[in-house]
Amino acid sequence: MATSNVINRVVPKATPRKKAAWRGVSHQFAAVAAAAAGFLLTLDAPPGKAQIGCLIYTVSLTLMFTVSATYHVPTWGIKGRNIMRKLDHVGIYCIIAGTYTPLCLLALDEVTGRRLLLQVWTGAAAGIAHSFMSRGGAGSKAMSALLYVALGWIVLPYARQLKVVLGPGATYMVVAGGVIYSLGAVIYAAKWPDPSPEVFGYHELFHAAVIVASALHFGAVKSVVSGAKDALCAAEN
């Protein structure tokens, strides 16, 4: 007993890291903005596959930000935290596949679009399965970041065809968004830079990168929808 008391005095117990004040707050606002902007985008899309693609994209985007905010803002118990962490990862895989959905339906030929759509949603399902089987930890975090990046860049074999249909502006937004997502994943895995751990740390930088990348991809999807509308108007005239 005496030895134990001495050890407790000499070796201080590790204290858990305090949650940053801004943890999840930015995604609260992003969830509202995503729902509103996505609703208007879906209404503006031509009926049929364009509207279906936009609806899937909007639900995925809103789900990701909503689950992220719900996970990160409150303080959860151990069991609740583990469940919410897995759901948070589900949201990330859903938005990657959800963003591809309108692009596959509207910017690629039918055969290629269906092939890429199957690949990306299969990859998302595999990532979701990994999230639920994972026990967490640093290795799991790095693996998750690697899976996010790999799934996000699955479009590379189809880049030339997408570029022709999207045009330079939307192509730039897709690529820039992908780069920023990837940079955010690296920050998330490396836990660096960590500018202000108690207010705005590495995790908040990751969340900010997700918002910026999402905004760029939203612009690309909107551009594709506008092109689909123009094509429909031209066909009717």
Could you read off the pLDDT of 181-192 as tens digits, one per residue? Answer: 999 999 998 999
**What are the sequence ranges of the domains in the chain?**
20-236
Percentage with pLDDT > 70 across the chain: 91
Cα 110 to Cα 189: distance, rounded to the nearest angstrom: 36
- Find the mean pLDDT for residues 220-228: 96
pLDDT for residue 16: 58
Q: What separation in angstroms does the CA of 231 have from each of 225, 234, 235?
A: 10, 5, 6
Q: What separation in angstroms does the CA of 103 have from each of 18, 107, 218, 221, 229?
A: 40, 5, 11, 7, 14
For residue 196, give the 3-state DSSP assignment. Answer: strand
Asked whether the predicted pLDDT for residue 15 surpasses 60, the reply is: no
* Token couple for 184: 């955010």
- Find the mean pLDDT for residues 84-89: 96
Q: Give the CATH superfamily of 20-236.
A: Rhodopsin 7-helix transmembrane proteins (1.20.1070.10)
Summarize pLDDT for 119-161 with one digit per residue, the tens: 999 999 999 999 999 877 666 778 888 999 999 999 999 999 9
pLDDT for residue 100: 97
Instruction: Pinpoint the alpha helices (H) of the chain.
Output: 2-10, 25-44, 49-72, 78-107, 110-133, 138-152, 159-190, 202-236
Work out the pLDDT band at 6, boundaries 50, 70, 90.
Answer: very low
Full-model pTM? 0.90
